[in-house]
Amino acid sequence: MDNAADRQVFYISDGTAITAEVLGHAVMSQFPVAINSITLPFVENESRANAVKEQINALYLKSGVRPLVFYSIVIPEIRDIILQSEGFCQDIVQALVAPLQQELKLEPTPIAHRTHGLNPGNLIKYDARIAAIDYTLAHDDGISMRNLDQAQVILLGVSRCGKTPTSLYLAMQFGIRAANYPFIADDMDNIQLPAVLKPLQHKLFGLTINPERLAAIREERRENSRYASMRQCRLEVAEVEALFRKNQIRYLNSTNYSVEEMATKILDIMGLNRRMY
Amino acid sequence: MDNAADRQVFYISDGTAITAEVLGHAVMSQFPVAINSITLPFVENESRANAVKEQINALYLKSGVRPLVFYSIVIPEIRDIILQSEGFCQDIVQALVAPLQQELKLEPTPIAHRTHGLNPGNLIKYDARIAAIDYTLAHDDGISMRNLDQAQVILLGVSRCGKTPTSLYLAMQFGIRAANYPFIADDMDNIQLPAVLKPLQHKLFGLTINPERLAAIREERRENSRYASMRQCRLEVAEVEALFRKNQIRYLNSTNYSVEEMATKILDIMGLNRRMY
């Protein structure tokens, strides 16, 4: 991505720059142009802002093409330094604030919003989120089958079908207490839903995966093993899918979805509330 | 948040709606207005889009106030259904595409960009991210001290100062292999940096926390314990901070920062590349 012909893009913020990065990336993906991106978080004082301005200008001098700058900075003095650079600067939040201002007939009050920040107003919610991460870790991979009634969702599936990353994303992004339980290869002859899970049927959610993708993932972990063989992967997936259907457990195939997509689909299907963090 | 006077806000997308939610929330935080928000992901066919339109219109009829709609939908036919609703609709991506179009002198090619999605082009990067999550889990809380040279960062600190959530966020959001090692109460009389960590000094990063906040967090876990006492928390924090200074380990106080902020600050200070997912 260091090709000289690539367009240089900066994502700049006085906070984590996660929003600038995600949105700027979505905007750039609409154009047929290769980019080389630099993310600069915590640009919150004049000396850092001046250093950023120099960095933008230096790249402009070198390439002769204006770098694109997606930014979100609340303090006007800091923002102005970036705006004095040679970059083509776009305020990611203000572009939407102006039309809203008309509709709401309210003046915006620019505050350091710290989308991903911590403040007295969200501390209780934040602590609940950390508790969800703790819960999820303690109930990963069937480690503990205690307190499963406190789970908001219990993911089921074969080894390496995506249960752990999906559970962790549910906890991290949405504050959901997500347990997960694996069906292991040795049980495949007589696969059953554990008795402790039966009364929790409404919380169960199955993950499945294409055997080919499963075998490739397992191969990375244990090369040339029975565990990673196509025969074994096909068998396990077929058995577990049959169990899902028999027990009327809703399930999704994770093969073509990221953890973000799996997590949001599960919340959507189960009617669980998304919390904002 | 169900007050009738609250302004109704929708975050709608044909994908996860994570971007719409985060950006819309940042925009709304600029206005002195209480909101009641509903997030609707995967609005990707006409029947769902029509159901969403009905939901928006029903809330308008009930309240007499136009709901605000932040959306990102690529397929024109689906988008048009939402635009026919009574909501005040703002396309979160297009607001920035138009000015970019002028600057780039390129036509945008609206594709289902799936910011948080999986496609053949990012599968290798995605698998590396899942591997980072695996690595981080296997090296959480000092569980394994093997292969620490493969870590990109090793977080150090007392129990409950935020090591685990920060490590997991680094892995989940940025694909960073983040190990963490706890200093436990029993070692406090003679606290030392483990020999295995000494050659990895450049990868070490310390977390500290205010003793008051630490005691409150621990109290939730073990009420009225020595572990949660102010005396113990003060002692542990002082000892560990002294160790950080003695060994010239960079460190940050996590008390007022979210995991997102801690993770991005650590990447920034250590000069580690952020990857986009």
Query: For residue A119, which amino acid is it?
Result: N
What CATH number does residue B192 fall under? 3.40.50.300
What is the band of A206 on the pLDDT scale with cuts at 50, 70, 90?
very high
Of B3-17, B171-185, B231-245, minimum mean pLDDT range: B3-17
Chain A, residues 165-224, CB within 8 A of chain B, namely: 165, 168-169, 172-173, 217, 220
What is the band of A3 on the pLDDT scale with cuts at 50, 70, 90?
low
B262 in the same domain as B131: yes
A108 contact residues in B (CB cutoff 8 A):
30-31
Cα separation of A208 and A252, whole Å?
A: 6
B277 found inside a domain: no
B223 in the same domain as B192: yes
A164 in the same domain as A79: no
B24 found inside a domain: yes
The beta-carbon contacts of A103-111 under 8 Å, at least 24 apart in sequence, are A103/B66, A103/B68, A103/B88, A104/B7, A104/B31, A104/B33, A106/B31, A106/B32, A106/B33, A108/B30, A108/B31, A109/B30, A109/B31, A109/B32, A110/A74, A110/B30, A111/A74, A111/B29, A111/B30
A149 in the same domain as A242: yes
B155 in the same domain as B33: no
- Residue B110 in contact with partner chain A when CB distance is under 8 A: yes
Secondary structure letter of residue B9 according to DSSP = E
- Residue A140 in contact with partner chain B when CB distance is under 8 A: yes
A234 found inside a domain: yes
B12 in the same domain as B142: no
Over residues A207-214, mean pLDDT: 97
A116 found inside a domain: no
How many domains is chain A partitioned into structurally?
A: 2
Secondary structure letter of residue B107 according to DSSP = -
* Predicted local confidence at residue B214, as pLDDT: 97
Nearest CA in chain B to A91: B96
* Predicted local confidence at residue B109, as pLDDT: 82
Q: Which residue in B26, B88, B131 is closest to A93 by CB distance?
A: B26
A255 in the same domain as A182: yes
Around A134, how many Cα atoms within 13 Å sit in the side-chain half-sphere?
17
Q: What percent of chain A has pLDDT over 90?
A: 77
Last residue of a domain, one of B104, B131, B153: B104
A113 found inside a domain: no
3-state DSSP helix/strand/coil percent for chain B, to nearest 5?
50, 15, 35
Last residue of a domain, one of B74, B104, B134: B104
What CATH number does residue B17 fall under? 3.40.50
A203 in the same domain as A69: no
* Predicted local confidence at residue B229, as pLDDT: 96
More reliable by pLDDT, A114 or B90: B90
- pLDDT, tens digit, 9 for 90 and up, residues B20-79: 998 998 899 889 899 999 999 999 999 999 999 999 999 999 999 999 999 999 899 999
A229 in the same domain as A168: yes
Cα separation of A121 and A112, whole Å?
A: 14
Over residues A204-233, mean pLDDT: 96
Decide if B100 and A130 are in contact by the 8 Å CB cutoff. Answer: no
A243 found inside a domain: yes
Preferred mutation among B68, B258, B266, B273 to probe A, highest tally of A CBs within 10 A: B258
Last residue of a domain, one of A104, A131, A146: A104
B2 found inside a domain: no
Q: Which domain holds residue B125?
A: 120-270
Per the annotation, binding residues of A are 157-164
More reliable by pLDDT, A120 or A212: A212
B73 in the same domain as B189: no
A2 found inside a domain: no
Say whether pLDDT at A160 is over 50: yes
- pLDDT, tens digit, 9 for 90 and up, residues A68-110: 999 999 899 999 999 999 999 999 998 899 899 999 999 988 7
B247 in the same domain as B154: yes
Cα separation of A101 and A107, whole Å?
A: 6
A265 in the same domain as A176: yes
